[in-house]
């Protein structure tokens, strides 16, 4: 399920359009991840403050969204472009890849909430495919 | 039996009370058919599903979307025994309609996205949690009678 040329344009255009609120999207998506899927908190046990609107969660959400934008810029070669991030997730963080799917869903819920008019089904399918491919690229070095 | 907090019960009642079924039903089903095109396999007799515009304009899709959404009413009214409430529907989807139960999850995800769009900021993380928990129970119940 690779991205067509048209879908790559859709993804790049959409993320460019919403880039001014990317911090908000990231923070909100991560907050939802830990509230709606409490098992994900197991990766953040080292934070003193695990409240969804607390500083650590917001800051990390912004970091993660930065990674998503990096992926957008490397959309023509995700596996190659995200190699370092993949090594990080595989050898250091060891996040179970099932969580990539869960976070992708949370990101899309937030996109839908904040950009109801723009997040049409056509854009939804392209973004869904893109995030799935990002997840695959991140899992590249796992085994 | 599923345990519901007061917040979860109140949230589910409120979300469905405020919902415009005629808008949300068609939107959720058509989105599912666009985002997960393999789900179209169950709608061979629905006519034109060739592209997103056709799907979103298709009156049979719209009608069925409303039917499916109203199907959730019984679960909303019987939150303490959704499994029993949907036993018959589960058999129907398995024996007669032959729907892969994973599709229930796909539709539930699309419904969540549509409700998020309609509710905007009111769709807080806690509301999302309650809504997704409710849908997860529905999805599980609909898959229970498959064998």
Residue B1: its pLDDT value, please?
A: 81
Residue of B35, B38, B50 for testing the chain A interface, max A β-carbons within 10 Å: B35
Average of pLDDT values for A133-141? 96
Residue of B nearest to A34 (CA): B125
Q: A113–B121: do the CB atoms touch at under 8 Å? A: yes
Neighbouring residues of B91: CB distance < 8 A, sequence distance ≥ 6:
B145
- A77 has pLDDT over 90: yes
Residue B135: its pLDDT value, please?
A: 98
Residue B77: its pLDDT value, please?
A: 97
| ipTM higher than the 0.90 cut | no
Mean pLDDT of chain B: 96
How confident is residue A1, by pLDDT bands cut at 50, 70 and 90?
A: confident
Residues A130, A75 contacting (CB under 8 angstroms): yes
- B58 has pLDDT over 90: yes
Name the residue facing B35 among A32, A109, A128 (closest C-beta).
A128
Q: What does pTM read for this prediction?
A: 0.92
Average of pLDDT values for B19-36? 97
Assigned token pair, B142: 């609909």
Average of pLDDT values for B54-83? 96
Average of pLDDT values for A37-62? 94
Average of pLDDT values for A62-76? 98
Query: Which residues in chain B are closer than 8 Å to A123, comparing Cβ atoms?
Result: none
Q: At what angle do helices B6-18 and B125-143 cross, to 10 degrees?
A: 90
Q: A112–B113: do the CB atoms touch at under 8 Å? A: yes
* Percent of chain A predicted with pLDDT > 70: 100
Average of pLDDT values for A30-53? 94
**Chains A, B: CB contacts under 8 A, how many?**
55
Residue A71: its pLDDT value, please?
A: 98
Q: Which residue has the tokens 């973004």?
A: A127
Residue B139: its pLDDT value, please?
A: 97
Q: A32–B125: do the CB atoms touch at under 8 Å? A: yes
Q: A109–B123: do the CB atoms touch at under 8 Å? A: yes
Residue A30: its pLDDT value, please?
A: 98
Using a 10 angstrom Cβ sphere, with 0-12 exposed, 13-18 middle and 19 or more buried, the burial of residue B50 is exposed
Average of pLDDT values for B91-98? 92
Average of pLDDT values for A123-140? 97
User: Which ranges of B71-101 would DSSP assign to H, the alpha helix?
Assistant: 73-77, 82-85, 87-91
Mean pLDDT of chain A: 96
Residues A11, A130 contacting (CB under 8 angstroms): yes
Residue A112: its pLDDT value, please?
A: 98
Name the residue facing A109 among B34, B35, B112 (closest C-beta).
B112
* Percent of chain A predicted with pLDDT > 90: 97
Q: At what angle do helices A22-36 and A98-114 cross, to 10 degrees?
A: 130
Q: B113–A109: do the CB atoms touch at under 8 Å? A: yes
Query: Which residues in chain A are closer than 8 Å to B52, comparing Cβ atoms?
Result: 120-122
Shortest Cα distance from B17 to chain A (angstroms)?
19
How confident is residue A24, by pLDDT bands cut at 50, 70 and 90?
A: very high
């Amino acid at each position: 399920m690779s991205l067509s040329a048209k879908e790559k344009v859709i993804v790049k255009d959409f993320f460019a359009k919403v880039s001014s609120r990317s911090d908000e999207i990231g923070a909100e998506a991560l907050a939802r991840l830990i509230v709606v899927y409490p098992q994900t908190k197991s990766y953040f046990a080292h934070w003193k403050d695990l409240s969804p609107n607390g500083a650590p969660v917001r800051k990390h959400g912004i970091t993660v969204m930065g990674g998503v934008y990096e992926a957008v810029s490397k959309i023509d070669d995700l596996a190659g472009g995200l190699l370092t991030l993949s090594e990080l997730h595989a050898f250091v963080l060891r996040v179970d890849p099932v969580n990539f799917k869960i976070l992708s869903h949370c990101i899309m819920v937030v996109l839908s909430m904040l950009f109801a008019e723009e997040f049409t089904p056509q854009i939804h399918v392209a973004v869904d495919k893109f995030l799935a491919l990002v997840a695959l690229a991140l899992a590249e070095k796992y085994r | 039996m599923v345990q519901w907090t007061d917040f979860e019960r109140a949230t589910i009642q409120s979300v469905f009370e405020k919902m415009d079924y005629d808008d949300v039903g068609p939107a959720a089903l058509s989105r599912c058919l666009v985002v997960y095109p393999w789900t179209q396999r169950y709608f061979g007799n629905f006519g034109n599903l060739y592209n997103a515009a056709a799907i979103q304009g298709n009156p049979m899709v719209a009608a069925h979307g409303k039917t499916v959404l109203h199907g959730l009413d019984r679960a909303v009214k019987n939150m303490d025994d959704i499994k029993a409430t949907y036993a018959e529907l589960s058999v129907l989807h398995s024996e007669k309609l032959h729907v892969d139960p994973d599709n229930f999850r796909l539709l539930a995800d699309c419904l969540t996205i549509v409700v998020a769009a309609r509710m905007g900021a009111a769709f807080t993380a806690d509301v999302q949690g309650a809504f997704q928990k409710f849908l997860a129970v529905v999805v599980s119940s609909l898959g229970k009678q498959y064998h």
